[in-house]
Amino acid sequence: MRPRETLLVAAREVREAVRSRWFLLSAVSFLVLSLGLSLLGLAGAQRSGLAGFDRTTAGLLNLALLFVPLVTLSLGGLGLAGELEDGSLAVLLAQPLTRGEVYLGKYLGLLGAVGASIFAGFGAAGLVITAVAGGGNAVAFLQLVGLAVLLAAATLALGTLLSAALSSRAKAVGGAFAAWLVIVYGSDLGAIGLAAARSLSPAQVFTLALLNPVEQARVLGTLSLTSRPEVLGVVGVYGQDLLGANGLPLVLIGALLASASIALGLGWMVFRKAAVP
């Protein structure tokens, strides 16, 4: 795989993403929600005397856990399937490019566009918080930005896998929405249900959590804000006991990277042999 050609495809993808209405709507919504949450969080913090950054960062973490998978799954889902349907993928693949360069270039381009949108949204929120409440726990805030990008990498890879496997715009968007429901809501409810019905041990609940990038990001984000066990939940408490306070974040970061790599690898296995009509 040639880096120059991969980056050319990535740059093309950034331009395509920035011009798409769905991406623009998502980026503006993310910016508005980040700013809105920050202002609300700061207003509450001033009344209760809590530090602005921690309280607001917790709100932004929840926003990222909901919003980032929604945007990346749908954008990733539309990526290959959309171009396959409108014929531009065939035109692109008729150029002297390998499928690997097209696949990775499109992924990196979309990740770049989503990353820029995350930086814009959280950056604006960070500026507002700093101006109103001072620097505070800025490290936790920067960790949140990094975490959102990491989560985006994992869920975008999942969206790209769906796009390669379902190869139709409507199916890919439907699949992306279903995947969003499962990883954001379904896995929590499923884990609770399984834990109750099957009397799962904490180790089994922890293992289940390691399969879901949103759960990995949730625990990782919470760890950057607090180490109070009652806030971390079963997964966090068990993970901390098992791996230690320093080991758990590293394992969770590794799990997020592994989620991205596995989904990307599976998508590649589908795409490399796929017929492009």
Partner 1 sequence: MIDARELTLDLGERRVLDAVSLHLDPGEAVALVGPNGSGKTSVLRCLLGLVPYRGRACIAGHDCMHDPVAARTQVGYLPQRPAFGDATAEEALKFIARLRRIHFSRIPLVLRQVALESHAGQRARTFSWGMQQRLSLAAVLLADPPVLLLDEPTASLDREGQADFLRIAAELRRSGRTLLLASHRAEEIERLADRVLELDQGRLVPEQRVAQVLPFHARRAGG
| Closest approach of partner 1 to the CB of residue 272, in Å | 9
Is 215 a binder of partner 1 (CB under 8 A)? no
User: Binding partner 1 by CB under 8 A: which of 14, 97, 142, 253?
Assistant: 97
- How many amino acids of this chain bind partner 1 (CB under 8 A)? 24
Q: Which is nearer to partner 1, 8 or 234 (CB)?
A: 8
Q: What is the DSSP string of 107-139?
A: HHHHHHHHHHHHHHHHHHHHHHHHHHH-SSSHH
Pick the closer one to partner 1 by CB: 8 or 66: 8
Size of the chain in residues: 277
Q: Alpha-carbon distance 120 to 256, whole Å?
A: 23
Buried residues in 51-69 as b, exposed as e (16+ CB within 10 A) = ebbbbbbbbbbebbbebbb
Question: Looking only at residues 234 through 253 of this chain, which bind partner 1 when binding is defined by CB under 8 A?
Answer: none
Q: State in angstroms the smallest separation of the CB of 91 from partner 1.
A: 6
Instruction: For partner 1, give the closer residue by CB, 49 or 96.
Output: 96
Question: Rule CB under 8 A: is residue 3 a binding residue for partner 1?
Answer: no
Of 14, 35, 66, 93, the one binding partner 1 (CB under 8 A) is: 93
d(C-alpha 125, C-alpha 116), whole Å: 14
* Between 25 and 32, CB nearer to partner 1: 25
Q: Does 197 bind partner 1 (CB under 8 A)?
A: no
Do 123 and 34 touch, CB atoms closer than 8 A?
A: no
Residue partners of 274: CB distance under 8 A and separation at least 6: 164, 167
- Cα(185)–Cα(78) distance, rounded to whole angstroms? 22
Quick check: 82 and 76 in contact, CB under 8 A?
Answer: no
Nearer to partner 1 (CB atom), residue 92 or residue 262: 92
Q: Binding pattern to partner 1, positions 5-34, x when CB under 8 A?
A: x--x---x--xx--xx--------------
Lookup: tokens for 203: 């180790």
Q: Which of 48, 49, 94, 131 binds partner 1 (CB under 8 A)?
A: 94
Which region among 146-154, 166-174, 246-254, 269-277 touches partner 1 (by CB under 8 A)? 269-277
Give Cβ neighbours of residue 237 (< 8 Å, ≥ 6 apart): 202, 229
Q: Is 1 in the site for partner 1 (CB under 8 A)?
A: no
Binding segment for partner 1 among 66-74, 83-91, 179-187, 261-269 (CB under 8 A)? 83-91
Spatial distance between the Cα atoms of 171 and 174, rounded to a whole number of angstroms: 5
Task: Using CB under 8 A, list all residues that contact partner 1.
Answer: 5, 8, 12, 15-16, 19-20, 83, 86-88, 90-91, 93-99, 273, 275-277
